Amino acid sequence: MGKGIWYNPRTEQIVDVACDNSYTHNEWIVRPKNAEWIGLSSSAQAFIAQATDIDEIRKAAVRDGLVRAREYKNYVSVTLSVVGEDHDLLHKVARVISAQYGRFSYLRLHNIATEKVVHIHLPDLQEKLDAGNPIDLNGNMG
């Protein structure tokens, strides 16, 4: 596994968890100081403080509005939570992924609100967004 980031699209805060010597998303976000800095709500922080399952910790942060990205050998896994279409969020995510992982990244977008996964090259995603074409994170590309 490569670089992993937490991104808060509301505050534009980004953290590379490996550079913080955490190496995993859950190890970083369970620290109250980190959770507060990245902008996690107090209710999500309270849930995470009690959670023991790493997937539940990560999902709680994503449900609260954070975006999780992790680089793998051939793709970047992006986990977010969105209902319907949110072009503003997707524009922000595309910009951050391009800056953090490269403008030709192949993405695996996982929407935990619907449990659907979309595979797409970043340039294709950006082209669809720029053209105003619908992007259905329920699993169908418009």
pLDDT for residue 15 is more than 80: yes
Task: Domain ranges for the chain, please list them.
Answer: 4-67, 76-134
- Asked if the model's pLDDT at residue 134 lies above 90, the reply is no
Instruction: Check residue 80 and give its pLDDT.
Output: 97
**How far are the Cα atoms of 26, 43, 46, 69 from residue 76, in angstroms, in the given order?**
18, 29, 29, 7
Predicted confidence (pLDDT) at residue 141 exceeds the cutoff of 70? no
Q: Mind listing the pLDDT tens digit for each residue in 24-53?
A: 999 999 999 999 999 999 999 999 999 999
Identify the burial level of 78 via C-beta atoms within 10 angstroms of its C-beta, where 0-12 means exposed, 13-18 middle and 19 or more buried: buried
Flag whether pLDDT at 142 surpasses 50.
no
